[in-house]
Structure 1
Amino acid sequence: MENIKHIIDSIDPEINLTLDEIPNIDLYMDQVIQLFENKFNESKRNQEEKILTKTMINNYAKGKLIFPIQNKKYSKEHLILMSLIYQLKGGLSINDIKATFSGINKKIMNGDIDLDAFYKIYLHLSSLNAADFKVDIEEREKDVKQGISDLSGEDGDYLEHVLMILSLVHKSNLYRRAAERLVDEIVAVNEGKNRKL
C-alpha cells in the first residue's frame, strides 16, 4: 500500500476557513460561494463536486441552520456557521446539524457568544485532530500489513486496500455514532426531557 502516504499527503486534514480569510464585510451569495470554492477546492473528490451552491445556502437559511440574513448579504458570523456546516455535513444529517446549531444561532442573535473565540477553539481542535489522523493512519497501515501477511498471492495489495477501507470506515462510523448521541442529548434538553447538558 505504497500510495497510502500519497493519499495522506493529498488530504489536507486542517483545511478550514481561518478567521483571517473571512472578510469583516458582508458578502453577497455569489461572493460566499466563490470564497468557499477557492478555499475548499482541493478537498473535492472530483471536479464535478460542488462545495457550496445557491440551493445549499438557501436550504441552510430555510432550514434555520443559520440565523436570518440581512439585505441579501452574509456576515462574518454566517460564514463561520457555513464553514462549520461544511465540516459537519459529511458526518451528520441536516436535521442533526440544525439541532446542534439551534442554540448557537440563538446566542448569536442575542449577542451571547463570542463566535470568533468559539471558532478559534474549533480550529485548534481541528489542528489536533489532523495530527492524530496522520499518526493513526500510519499505525493502521502497519496493523493491516501485519494482519494480511499470512494471506499470500497476487491479491495481497487489493486485500490490504479493502482492509484499510473497512478499518477507516468503521472508525468513522464510531465517531459519527458518538456525535449523533451528543446531538440526541441536545435534542433531549431542548425538548425538556433533560434539564442540563
Structure 2
Amino acid sequence: MIKINDLIEKLDLDKKIELEDIPEIDLYMDQVIQLFDNKFAKTDSDEKILTKTMINNYAKAKLLFPIKNKKYTKKHIILISLIYHLKGALSINDIKDTLNGLNKKIHEEDDLNIDDLYNSFLEINERNVTNFKTDLQSRVNDVSSLLNESDQKDLEYFEQLLCIASFVNISNLYKSAAEKLVAEIQFKDK
C-alpha cells in the first residue's frame, strides 16, 4: 500500500516565496538566484532552481518588464516566482501570453498593487495543496479498491503503476484546461 503521508512529505509542498521573503531593495541577479535556491532547492539534488541563463531567457522572451541597472525589483521577483510555478506545465510562449497583461500593467502603472495579487496567488496555492492532499488519498483509495488482492505477488507494483497513470491523467487534464484558458486569455487596456 502506498504511504500517502510519506509521499506528501517528500513533495515539500510548503515551499514558496512569501512577500516578506522579498526584500524591499532591488537585488542583483545573483541575489535573486540565491533567494530562489534558498526557498526551493532540494537538499538531495544538484538541480539548479534558477540560473542566470534562465533569467536572461525570461527577459529576452519578454516575460519580464525591462530591468534597470542590472537590478531586479520586488515586482520582478514576484513575476519570476510566477514564471517558476507556471513553467512546469506551460510553454514559454504560453507563459508570455498569460503574463503579458500583468507586465503591461506593472510597466505602465506605478500604483499597481501586485502584492495583493501575489498574496491571492499564495492563498490559492495553499488551498490547492490542501485539496491535493485529500485528492491524492482518494485516488490511491480508488486504485486499491479496484485491484484484485488475490494476486499479492504483484499487488504493490500494480498499485504504483495505476497510481502513476492516474496522477499523470489528472495532471494532463489540468494542463489541457490551463492551455485552453491561455488560448482565450484577453488583456484589455483600461
- TM-score normalized by the length of structure 1: 0.90
The structural deviation recorded for 1:10 is 1.7
The structural deviation recorded for 1:151 is 5.7
2:153 counterpart SS class: coil
1:163-178 counterparts in 2 under 5 A?
163-178=162-177
Task: Label 1:70 to 1:9 Cα distance change in 2 as closer, same or farther (>3 A).
Answer: same
User: Residue 152 of structure 1 aligns with which residue?
Assistant: 151
Task: Label 1:24 to 1:151 Cα distance change in 2 as closer, same or farther (>3 A).
Answer: farther
Q: What amino acid maps onto 1:108 in structure 2?
A: I
User: Residue 104 of structure 1 aligns with which residue?
Assistant: 102
CA distance in 2, matches of 1:135, 1:9: 14
The structural deviation recorded for 1:113 is 2.8
Q: What amino acid maps onto 1:113 in structure 2?
A: L
- The question of whether the paired residues in 1 share the 8 Å contact of 2:2 and 2:140 is answered with no
Deviations 1:41-97 (A, max 9, x none): 13x8x5132100000000000000010101000000000000110000001001000
Q: What amino acid maps onto 1:107 in structure 2?
A: K
1:33-182 counterparts in 2 under 5 A?
33-42=33-42, 47-111=45-109, 113-149=112-148, 152-182=151-181
- The question of whether the paired residues in 2 share the 8 Å contact of 1:14 and 1:126 is answered with no
Q: What amino acid maps onto 1:74 in structure 2?
A: Y
Aligned-residue sequence identity (percent) comes to 52
User: Residue 29 of structure 1 aligns with which residue?
Assistant: 29
CA distance in 1, matches of 2:150, 2:22: 51
- The question of whether the paired residues in 2 share the 8 Å contact of 1:22 and 1:76 is answered with yes
Q: What amino acid maps onto 2:90 in structure 1?
A: L
The structural deviation recorded for 1:156 is 0.7
The structural deviation recorded for 1:101 is 0.5
The structural deviation recorded for 1:7 is 1.1
CA distance in 1, matches of 2:150, 2:32: 51
Task: Label 1:106 to 1:144 Cα distance change in 2 as closer, same or farther (>3 A).
Answer: same
Flag structure 1 segments of 5+ consecutive residues without an equivalent.
none
The structural deviation recorded for 1:155 is 1.1
2:41 counterpart SS class: helix
CA distance in 1, matches of 2:150, 2:71: 59
CA distance in 2, matches of 1:108, 1:180: 24
RMSD: 1.8
